[in-house]
């Protein structure tokens, strides 16, 4: 089948169906038509791509939402986006569509990116990879946005052969901790060639900043970092959920890796993890806030107890549309506040990761520690 589409339609983001085996040829033909057009969008057109973004999804009915998200991303990060939908329980079908997404970049210049959409229902993992691999732009980085709950999916291995970075989100199932184990295993196995990034880690930026700043002399001195004798982490949770969430474990992994806490394996259980600092043993305990309006699994507060009886409370506070993380010593009025954005959209979080085309070693270290916890939770 040869695509039939007016240049204006192609440049406006309207999808055109093409033969799977002719995707590249059809794209070249559409760009040539757009270049030679007499009518279309006004102004100069610049075809641009700084990397290939492969978006993998198994979710039903997410096409429209992901198309909007990609459009927002491409406005800042021009790329070739390959949007793949894989539903293994459906009848076998391989279909493809192409379009351009153009954004005005000052004056009359339009910077245009390409979107290729592939449906691989009922397909074998290698079958999907054989379609995607030839579409990857040579000599440019490849980012795999894994929008699925299972990092051990058989398609993952097939798609990562040419990938530099994998972006995933451990909050899809906030109390299913398997994803942290899977991600930690991948860091161990592929540390030399593939970088991992978790959107849930991005959501913890404000918490990590607030906790670090709480020990800069106010309200606590740096010396108190070695005097911790207990920690309580409160997370938003449903009545039937456990209190140990992926976000809470990532935050604990960060604290443990930065402060060189040693994990006491025999003291790890369903709602607490045992640690040793120096010669002192203590627990990080997890509590569920069933009344919280926050998304399930979100960290609500962190309470830290010290050897002299003092306590530090770090709490997420809501003031209308504004969100603050406040740190204060218990039974005192003075507070230190860190403004945070709790309304990060997927496009913003992914965009932040696309700006960091390098390894995040602190995240990897925190993930490895968190992954160790998940293997031992009873």
- Asked, for residue 172, whether it belongs to a domain, the answer is no
Q: Given 111, 140, 163, which residue is the final one in a domain? A: 163
Strand-pair category, 262-269 with 272-277? antiparallel
Residue 241, burial from CB neighbour count under 10 angstroms (0-12, 13-18, 19+): middle
Residue 253, burial from CB neighbour count under 10 angstroms (0-12, 13-18, 19+): buried
Are 370 and 250 contacting, i.e. CB atoms less than 8 angstroms apart?
yes
Domain check: are 143 and 12 in the same one? yes
> pLDDT tens for residues 78-127?
999 999 999 888 888 899 999 999 988 776 788 999 999 999 988 888 88
Decide if pLDDT at 196 tops 80.
yes
pLDDT value, residue 6: 66
Decide if pLDDT at 13 tops 90.
no
> Domain limits at 145?
7-163
Instruction: Provide the number of structural domains found in the chain.
Output: 2
Quick one: pLDDT band at residue 2, thresholds 50, 70, 90?
very low
Domain check: are 234 and 136 in the same one? no
Q: Given 163, 192, 214, which residue is the final one in a domain? A: 163
Write out the E strands in the chain: 16-18, 44-47, 52-57, 80-85, 93-104, 109-121, 142-147, 165-168, 195-198, 228-236, 262-269, 272-277, 280-289, 299-306, 311-319, 322-329, 336-340
Are 55 and 84 contacting, i.e. CB atoms less than 8 angstroms apart?
yes
Map residue 241 onto helix, strand or coil.
coil
pLDDT value, residue 4: 53
- Asked, for residue 187, whether it belongs to a domain, the answer is no
pLDDT value, residue 242: 84
Closest by CA to 369, choosing from 282, 265, 215, 241, is 265
Quick one: pLDDT band at residue 357, thresholds 50, 70, 90?
confident
Map residue 296 onto helix, strand or coil.
coil
Domain check: are 247 and 369 in the same one? yes
Q: How far apart are the first and last CA of the chain?
A: 57
d(CA 115, CA 17): 12
Domain check: are 156 and 270 in the same one? no
C-alpha separations of 4 from 1, 35, 168, 175 in Å:
9, 16, 36, 48
Average pLDDT for 145-149:
93
Closest by CA to 134, choosing from 73, 82, 94, 98, is 82
């Amino acid at each position: 089948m040869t695509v039939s589409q007016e240049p204006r339609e192609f440049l406006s983001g309207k999808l055109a169906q093409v033969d799977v085996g002719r995707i590249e040829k059809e794209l070249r033909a559409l760009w040539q038509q757009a270049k030679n057009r007499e009518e279309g969008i006004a102004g100069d057109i610049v075809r641009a791509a700084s990397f290939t973004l492969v978006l993998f999804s198994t979710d039903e009915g997410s096409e429209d939402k992901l198309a909007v998200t990609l459009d927002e991303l491409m406005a800042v990060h021009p790329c070739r986006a390959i949007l793949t939908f894989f539903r293994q329980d459906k009848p076998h079908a391989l279909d493809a569509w192409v379009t351009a997404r153009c954004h005005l970049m000052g004056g009359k210049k339009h910077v245009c990116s390409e979107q290729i959409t592939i449906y691989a229902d009922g397909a074998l993992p290698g079958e999907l990879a054989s379609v995607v691999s030839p579409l990857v732009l040579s000599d440019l980085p490849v980012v795999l946005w894994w929008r699925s709950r299972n990092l051990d999916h058989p398609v993952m291995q097939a798609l990562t052969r040419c990938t530099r970075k994998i972006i995933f989100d451990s909050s899809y199932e906030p109390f299913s901790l398997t994803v942290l184990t899977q991600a930690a295993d991948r860091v161990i196995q592929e540390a030399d060639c593939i970088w991992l990034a978790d959107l849930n880690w991005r959501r913890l930026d404000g918490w990590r900043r607030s906790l670090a700043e709480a020990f800069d002399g106010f309200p606590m001195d740096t010396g108190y970092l070695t005097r911790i004798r207990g920690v309580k982490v409160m997370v938003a949770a449903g009545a039937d959920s456990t209190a140990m969430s992926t976000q809470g474990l990532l935050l604990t992994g960060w604290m443990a890796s930065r402060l060189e806490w040693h994990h006491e394996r025999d003291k790890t259980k369903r709602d607490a993890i045992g640690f040793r600092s120096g010669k002192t043993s203590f627990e990080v305990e997890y509590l569920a806030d069933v009344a919280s309006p926050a998304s399930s699994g979100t960290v609500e507060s962190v309470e830290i107890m010290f050897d002299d009886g003092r306590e530090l409370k770090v709490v997420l506070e809501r003031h209308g549309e504004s969100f603050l993380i406040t740190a204060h010593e218990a039974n005192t009025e003075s507070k230190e506040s860190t403004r945070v954005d709790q309304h990060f959209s997927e496009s913003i979080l992914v965009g932040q990761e696309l700006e960091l085309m390098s390894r995040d070693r602190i995240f990897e270290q925190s993930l490895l520690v968190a992954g160790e916890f998940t293997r031992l939770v009873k």
